[in-house]
Amino acid sequence: MGSDIPKQFLDLEGKPILLRTIEAFLKLSFPVEIIIVLPSDCINMWKEICVSKGLNPECKIVPGGITRFHSVKNALKFVPEGALVAVHDGVRPFTPAEMIESLFKKADECGAVIPVINPVDSMRHLTPEGYSTHVKREEYVMIQTPQIFDSNILLNAYNQPYSPHFTDDASVVESSGHTISLAEGSHLNIKITRKEDLVLAKAILSVF
Protein backbone atom coordinates (compact mmCIF):
# COMPACT_ATOMS: atom_id res chain seq x y z
CA MET A 1 0.00 0.00 0.00
CA GLY A 2 3.09 2.24 -0.11
CA SER A 3 3.13 2.90 3.64
CA ASP A 4 5.39 1.90 6.52
CA ILE A 5 2.26 1.33 8.59
CA PRO A 6 0.79 -2.20 8.39
CA LYS A 7 -2.39 -2.06 6.30
CA GLN A 8 -4.62 -3.22 9.15
CA PHE A 9 -3.47 -0.20 11.18
CA LEU A 10 -4.15 2.39 8.48
CA ASP A 11 -6.62 5.09 9.42
CA LEU A 12 -10.05 4.79 7.85
CA GLU A 13 -12.04 7.94 8.60
CA GLY A 14 -10.75 8.29 12.16
CA LYS A 15 -10.38 4.63 13.14
CA PRO A 16 -7.79 1.95 12.33
CA ILE A 17 -9.08 -0.58 9.79
CA LEU A 18 -8.53 -3.37 12.32
CA LEU A 19 -10.72 -1.64 14.90
CA ARG A 20 -13.56 -1.33 12.39
CA THR A 21 -13.17 -5.04 11.66
CA ILE A 22 -13.39 -5.84 15.38
CA GLU A 23 -16.45 -3.64 15.76
CA ALA A 24 -18.32 -5.73 13.19
CA PHE A 25 -18.16 -8.65 15.63
CA LEU A 26 -19.02 -6.53 18.66
CA LYS A 27 -22.32 -5.64 16.93
CA LEU A 28 -23.52 -9.26 16.96
CA SER A 29 -26.59 -10.19 18.99
CA PHE A 30 -24.49 -12.62 21.06
CA PRO A 31 -21.15 -12.15 22.86
CA VAL A 32 -17.90 -13.29 21.27
CA GLU A 33 -14.31 -13.58 22.43
CA ILE A 34 -11.87 -11.95 20.03
CA ILE A 35 -8.29 -13.07 19.45
CA ILE A 36 -6.08 -10.81 17.35
CA VAL A 37 -3.04 -12.36 15.68
CA LEU A 38 -0.31 -9.85 14.86
CA PRO A 39 3.34 -10.04 13.83
CA SER A 40 5.44 -9.82 16.98
CA ASP A 41 6.99 -6.53 15.92
CA CYS A 42 3.53 -4.98 15.42
CA ILE A 43 2.00 -5.77 18.80
CA ASN A 44 3.39 -2.70 20.59
CA MET A 45 2.43 -0.51 17.63
CA TRP A 46 -1.16 -1.68 17.93
CA LYS A 47 -1.19 -1.02 21.67
CA GLU A 48 0.22 2.47 21.09
CA ILE A 49 -2.44 3.20 18.47
CA CYS A 50 -5.16 2.12 20.88
CA VAL A 51 -3.75 4.33 23.66
CA SER A 52 -3.36 7.34 21.37
CA LYS A 53 -6.98 7.09 20.23
CA GLY A 54 -8.38 6.25 23.65
CA LEU A 55 -9.42 2.79 22.54
CA ASN A 56 -9.67 -0.30 24.67
CA PRO A 57 -10.94 -3.18 22.54
CA GLU A 58 -11.47 -6.30 24.64
CA CYS A 59 -9.20 -8.65 22.71
CA LYS A 60 -6.49 -11.19 23.38
CA ILE A 61 -3.36 -10.53 21.32
CA VAL A 62 -1.31 -13.47 20.03
CA PRO A 63 1.98 -13.27 18.09
CA GLY A 64 1.73 -14.59 14.56
CA GLY A 65 3.83 -17.22 12.82
CA ILE A 66 5.83 -17.38 9.60
CA THR A 67 2.71 -18.17 7.51
CA ARG A 68 -1.05 -17.75 7.87
CA PHE A 69 -1.21 -21.45 8.78
CA HIS A 70 1.20 -21.00 11.68
CA SER A 71 -0.51 -17.80 12.82
CA VAL A 72 -3.90 -19.50 13.06
CA LYS A 73 -2.30 -22.45 14.81
CA ASN A 74 -0.85 -20.08 17.43
CA ALA A 75 -4.29 -18.60 18.07
CA LEU A 76 -5.93 -22.02 18.34
CA LYS A 77 -3.90 -22.68 21.50
CA PHE A 78 -6.35 -20.36 23.25
CA VAL A 79 -9.54 -21.83 21.77
CA PRO A 80 -11.55 -24.36 23.81
CA GLU A 81 -13.03 -27.54 22.41
CA GLY A 82 -16.68 -27.42 21.43
CA ALA A 83 -16.69 -23.74 20.44
CA LEU A 84 -17.41 -22.13 17.08
CA VAL A 85 -14.38 -20.33 15.67
CA ALA A 86 -14.58 -17.57 13.07
CA VAL A 87 -11.27 -16.93 11.31
CA HIS A 88 -11.38 -13.51 9.70
CA ASP A 89 -9.13 -11.15 7.75
CA GLY A 90 -8.27 -8.07 9.79
CA VAL A 91 -8.69 -5.89 6.71
CA ARG A 92 -12.35 -6.72 6.02
CA PRO A 93 -14.06 -3.97 8.04
CA PHE A 94 -17.48 -4.03 6.36
CA THR A 95 -18.67 -7.58 7.00
CA PRO A 96 -22.41 -7.24 7.71
CA ALA A 97 -23.46 -8.44 11.17
CA GLU A 98 -26.40 -10.36 9.72
CA MET A 99 -24.02 -12.22 7.41
CA ILE A 100 -21.76 -13.19 10.32
CA GLU A 101 -24.71 -14.39 12.39
CA SER A 102 -26.02 -16.44 9.47
CA LEU A 103 -22.60 -18.07 9.09
CA PHE A 104 -22.46 -18.94 12.79
CA LYS A 105 -25.90 -20.54 12.54
CA LYS A 106 -24.91 -22.67 9.57
CA ALA A 107 -21.58 -23.63 11.17
CA ASP A 108 -23.49 -24.83 14.22
CA GLU A 109 -25.41 -27.15 11.90
CA CYS A 110 -22.65 -28.43 9.61
CA GLY A 111 -19.35 -27.74 11.39
CA ALA A 112 -17.55 -25.89 8.59
CA VAL A 113 -18.84 -23.02 6.46
CA ILE A 114 -17.30 -20.30 4.31
CA PRO A 115 -18.89 -17.26 2.63
CA VAL A 116 -18.71 -16.97 -1.14
CA ILE A 117 -19.78 -14.54 -3.85
CA ASN A 118 -20.26 -15.11 -7.55
CA PRO A 119 -17.70 -13.50 -9.87
CA VAL A 120 -19.11 -10.69 -11.99
CA ASP A 121 -16.27 -10.50 -14.51
CA SER A 122 -15.41 -12.99 -17.23
CA MET A 123 -12.63 -15.38 -16.25
CA ARG A 124 -9.85 -17.21 -18.06
CA HIS A 125 -7.60 -20.09 -17.04
CA LEU A 126 -3.85 -19.49 -17.37
CA THR A 127 -1.85 -22.43 -18.72
CA PRO A 128 1.77 -23.26 -17.83
CA GLU A 129 2.69 -22.50 -21.44
CA GLY A 130 1.58 -18.89 -21.06
CA TYR A 131 -1.71 -19.18 -22.90
CA SER A 132 -5.21 -18.71 -21.53
CA THR A 133 -8.53 -20.45 -22.06
CA HIS A 134 -12.10 -19.42 -21.38
CA VAL A 135 -13.82 -20.90 -18.32
CA LYS A 136 -17.46 -20.84 -17.25
CA ARG A 137 -17.62 -18.35 -14.41
CA GLU A 138 -20.81 -19.97 -13.10
CA GLU A 139 -18.64 -22.95 -12.11
CA TYR A 140 -16.54 -20.78 -9.78
CA VAL A 141 -17.06 -18.74 -6.64
CA MET A 142 -14.88 -16.20 -4.85
CA ILE A 143 -14.03 -16.99 -1.24
CA GLN A 144 -14.35 -14.53 1.65
CA THR A 145 -14.00 -14.56 5.41
CA PRO A 146 -15.01 -15.09 8.16
CA GLN A 147 -14.68 -18.82 7.73
CA ILE A 148 -16.39 -20.51 10.66
CA PHE A 149 -15.72 -23.97 12.06
CA ASP A 150 -16.46 -26.18 15.01
CA SER A 151 -13.28 -25.86 17.04
CA ASN A 152 -12.84 -29.64 17.26
CA ILE A 153 -12.78 -29.84 13.46
CA LEU A 154 -10.38 -26.91 13.17
CA LEU A 155 -8.05 -28.14 15.92
CA ASN A 156 -7.86 -31.56 14.29
CA ALA A 157 -7.17 -30.01 10.88
CA TYR A 158 -4.32 -27.90 12.22
CA ASN A 159 -2.61 -30.99 13.60
CA GLN A 160 -1.58 -31.69 10.00
CA PRO A 161 1.90 -30.74 8.81
CA TYR A 162 2.04 -27.42 6.97
CA SER A 163 1.62 -27.49 3.20
CA PRO A 164 2.22 -24.55 0.82
CA HIS A 165 -1.04 -25.58 -0.87
CA PHE A 166 -2.97 -24.31 2.17
CA THR A 167 -4.32 -20.92 1.07
CA ASP A 168 -7.00 -20.50 3.72
CA ASP A 169 -8.57 -22.34 6.64
CA ALA A 170 -11.07 -24.12 4.41
CA SER A 171 -8.24 -25.72 2.45
CA VAL A 172 -6.68 -26.94 5.71
CA VAL A 173 -9.97 -28.38 6.95
CA GLU A 174 -10.78 -29.95 3.58
CA SER A 175 -7.34 -31.59 3.53
CA SER A 176 -8.17 -33.23 6.85
CA GLY A 177 -11.18 -34.93 5.23
CA HIS A 178 -14.04 -32.65 6.24
CA THR A 179 -16.58 -31.26 3.78
CA ILE A 180 -16.88 -27.48 3.47
CA SER A 181 -20.32 -25.90 3.19
CA LEU A 182 -20.85 -22.67 1.26
CA ALA A 183 -22.98 -19.70 2.28
CA GLU A 184 -23.79 -16.36 0.71
CA GLY A 185 -21.18 -13.67 1.26
CA SER A 186 -21.45 -9.96 0.54
CA HIS A 187 -19.98 -7.68 -2.11
CA LEU A 188 -19.61 -5.08 0.66
CA ASN A 189 -17.23 -7.44 2.44
CA ILE A 190 -14.17 -6.09 0.64
CA LYS A 191 -10.59 -6.90 1.59
CA ILE A 192 -8.43 -3.78 1.79
CA THR A 193 -5.06 -4.71 0.31
CA ARG A 194 -4.38 -1.99 -2.30
CA LYS A 195 -4.63 1.80 -2.47
CA GLU A 196 -7.70 1.46 -4.67
CA ASP A 197 -9.39 -0.61 -1.98
CA LEU A 198 -8.86 2.18 0.54
CA VAL A 199 -10.57 4.63 -1.82
CA LEU A 200 -13.48 2.20 -2.19
CA ALA A 201 -13.64 1.75 1.59
CA LYS A 202 -13.98 5.49 2.14
CA ALA A 203 -16.75 5.58 -0.45
CA ILE A 204 -18.59 2.76 1.33
CA LEU A 205 -18.32 4.63 4.64
CA SER A 206 -19.79 7.75 3.07
CA VAL A 207 -22.91 5.82 2.09
CA PHE A 208 -23.42 3.34 4.92
Domain boundaries, the chain: 7-207
Q: Are 114 and 153 in contact (CB under 8 A)?
A: no
The rounded radius of gyration (Å) of the Cα atoms in the chain is: 18
pLDDT attached to residue 1: 62
pLDDT recorded at residue 168: 97
Listed as ranges, residues in the chain with pLDDT below 50 are none
- Indicate the SS3 state at residue 117: strand
- In angstroms, the CA 87 to CA 79 distance is 12
CATH class for the region spanning 7-207:
alpha beta
Beta strands 34-38 and 112-117, pairing class:
unpaired
CA angle 170, 172, 178 (to 5 degrees): 70
Is-contact 182 110, C-beta < 8 A?
no
Can you give the pLDDT at residue 167? 95
pLDDT tens for 125-156 read 999 999 999 999 999 999 999 999 999 999 99
Instruction: Return the pLDDT at 111.
Output: 98
Residue 43: what pLDDT? Answer: 94
pLDDT (0 to 100) of residue 50: 86
